[in-house]
Amino acid sequence: MDAIHNKLLTRGVGSLTDAELLSLIVDDGGTREDALKLGERILAENGTIANIGNMDISRLRMVEGVGLKRAGRILAAAELGRRLAALQIDSVASITSSSDAVNIFRPLFEGLQHEECWVLYLTNSNRVIERQRVSQGGVQGTIVDHRLIAKRALELLATQVIMAHNHPSGSTEPSSQDIALTKRISEALALFDIRLLDHLIIAGGEELSFRSRGLLK
């Protein structure tokens, strides 16, 4: 592992590959080749780091060469990453551009194999009041109650809302249900002079803005 440790010290942790990061986590004093090959095998069998971090420990421990302790270390590292991302999200005080909203939402969807819908409640000056998950569904969809979104906006005295949901399929193209839901939520909020600023669909490294696409007036 000396070469990987030297790379870490001289070039920084960001220079390490996913397999090298995994090798540091699973290493227990064996040879560099053993730890690195194990990291490569875990990635080859399970895909991305995000997929691995969302695995159940009982499944992860069954990967050849992993076991309970190594699986526990991998999932602990993944959870630390999620908590750090959550802290970074909370540090965003206001929305100044669509990229700010995307940066808040994207970590929430990372690695999910099911759909979720989240909402940002904002003041008139675009200050973030609260972020809230409003629904959690299956692989192909999730049910969102527009009344609950409007109710929470009124409770928080929010004047603007941004919503986002993910597409595990990897496509950002909105479905007819997505378009109908957006219209329904926009109309429900408008009854109380609350504006739906945007609806974002996030899929992998891509995103779609309903407002930019002309699907939200």
Query: What is the residue extent of each domain of the chain?
Result: 2-86, 94-213
**Consecutive H or E run containing 162:** strand 160-166
Asked if residue 150 lies in contact with residue 163, where contact means CB atoms within 8 angstroms, the answer is: no
pLDDT tens digit sequence for 168-185: 888 999 999 999 999 999
Longest CA–CA span in the chain (Å) reads 65
Question: Can you give the pLDDT at residue 90?
Answer: 56
**Cβ within 8 Å of residue 104, ≥6 positions away:** 89, 92, 95, 120, 128, 131
**Other CB atoms closer than 10 Å to residue 121's CB: what's the count?**
22
pLDDT tens digit sequence for 73-121: 888 887 777 677 666 555 556 788 888 888 888 888 887 888 999 999 9
Domain 94-213 bears CATH identifier 3.40.50.300: no
pTM across the whole model: 0.62
Domain 2-86 bears CATH identifier 1.10.10: no
pLDDT tens digit sequence for 179-208: 999 999 999 999 999 999 999 999 988 999
DSSP secondary structure letter of residue 115: -
Label the pairing between strands 206-209 and 160-166.
Answer: unpaired
DSSP secondary structure letter of residue 54: T
